[in-house]
Amino acid sequence: MSKTYHIYISYPQGETENNMIKVGIIGATGYAGHELIRLLYNHPKVEIIHLSSRSYAGKKLSEVYHNFTGILDKKLAELNAQQMADDCDVIFFALPHGLAAGQISEELLEKTKIIDIGADFRLKDKDTYKSWYKVKHSAPQFLEEAVYGLCELNRDKIKHARIVANPGCYTTCSITSLAPLVANKIIDNSTIIIDAKSGVSGSGRSLSLPTLFPESNESFKAYGIGTHRHTPEIEQELSAIAGKDIILSFTPHLVPMNRGILTTSYASLIKDIKSNEIIEIYKEYYKDEKFIRIYSQDSFPETRFVRNSNFVDIGIKTDPRTKRVIAVAAIDNLVKGAAGQAVQNMNLMFGIQEDSGLNAVPTII
C-alpha cells in the first residue's frame, strides 16, 4: 500500500512551524474527550490549554481518569467557550447533539477554529437535522459553511475551514467502504444495505440501561432499526459522491466489547466484475491515503486489527451467484470514528503533517 504523506506549508492562523497549537476541549471527560486528550498529549505540535467538563468541573483530570495520574493533572473547568476562544487556536467540542451549536457565534469564529465531534454540523439541512435529532438547530447560519470532516474525501476544504463537522463513527466506516463503488458506478445505489456492529463505548459514558454490563454482556442486538441518526449522514455524503440522491438501509447492532466498529455492506452489481478487479479499483481510489488499508483477495478486517489506531481497514468480495458485492470495513470507533479523525482534521486545518500524533500501531490484544 502507498505510504504517501500529506505535508502542507500554509498556516491559516499564523505561523505554526515553530509555535505550538493551543487547544481547548469542551466535554473532556466523555470517552471521545478522553481519547482526544490521550492523542493530543503525545502530539508534537500541541499544547493543551483548557479542559472543561460539566460533570467534573473543579476536579483534576487525573481524579476522573487515573491513567493520567502524574502525567496530566490539569484541573477541569466549567464551560466557558469565550475564554477558550481568547486563549486557544482551536476548540474541540465533544458534546451530545444540540449543545455545541448553541455555543457557536461569529464572534467566537473570529478568534478560533472549531472542530465539533458531535452531530450538530454534519447535516446540511436544518429540517433534516430537526427530523432525525428531534431538536431545533441553534445555529443554522453556519450549516453551509461547516465542512464535513471526512479527511480522505474533503481534504482541500478542511484545510481552509473555520468549522469542521467530525463525522460519526458508523458513517466513517460506511462511507469509506462504499465510496469507491458509488464513485465508479459499479453498483445499483438503490440496493445498498449496511449491517453495522459497534462496541459499547459508542453509546458514550453516561449511565444507560441498555449498556449496563448485565444488559449487554453475553448478548447481541440490533437497535435504532430504520431510525438511527447516522442514516441521513451516510445518505448525504454518498449522494454527494453519486451526484444524485441515495436512499439506503442501515441497521446498527450492539456488541459486548469495549470498542470497535465492523460494517458489512451489500449492493447489487450493475456490471460483471470480479473481486480482484474491484480491489484494484479501491487501491487506486485510496492510493494516497495512509490511514485506509485495502486487504488482498479473500482477506478481511477484524476490529482488533485497528484497535487504538486511526486506520480504516477494508476487504471486498463479489458473489457471482447473487450478483452482489460485499464490503467489510473496520475502525476503532473512538479513534478514526471520533478523536483520531478530529486530530487528523486539526492537522489539516493548521497546515502540519496530516499523520502527526496518529502514528500508533494498532494494539491487537
Instruction: Name the residue ranges covered by the structural domains of the chain.
Output: 21-167+336-349, 170-333
Residue 6 has pLDDT above 50, yes or no: no
Least confident of 192-196, 324-328, 360-364: 360-364
- Name the one residue in this structure whose C-alpha cell is 497549537: 21
CA angle in degrees (0–180, nearest 5) for 318-322-326: 35
**H or E element at residue 31:** helix 31-41
- Overall pTM surpassing 0.85 (yes/no): yes
Of 111-120, 183-192, 196-205, 265-274, least confident by mean pLDDT is 196-205
Does the structure show a pLDDT above 90 at 290?
A: yes
Separation of alpha carbons 56 and 73, rounded Å: 13
Average pLDDT over residues 73-83: 92
pLDDT at site 217 = 76
Looking at the domain covering 21-167+336-349, what would its CATH class be?
alpha beta
| Residue 169 annotated as catalytic | yes
Q: Are 248 and 193 in contact (CB under 8 A)?
A: yes
Which is catalytic among the residues 88, 151, 169, 173? 169
CA distances in angstroms from 316 to 169, 234, 311, listed in the order given:
20, 19, 16
Q: Which CATH superfamily is domain 170-333 in?
A: Dihydrodipicolinate Reductase; domain 2 (3.30.360.10)
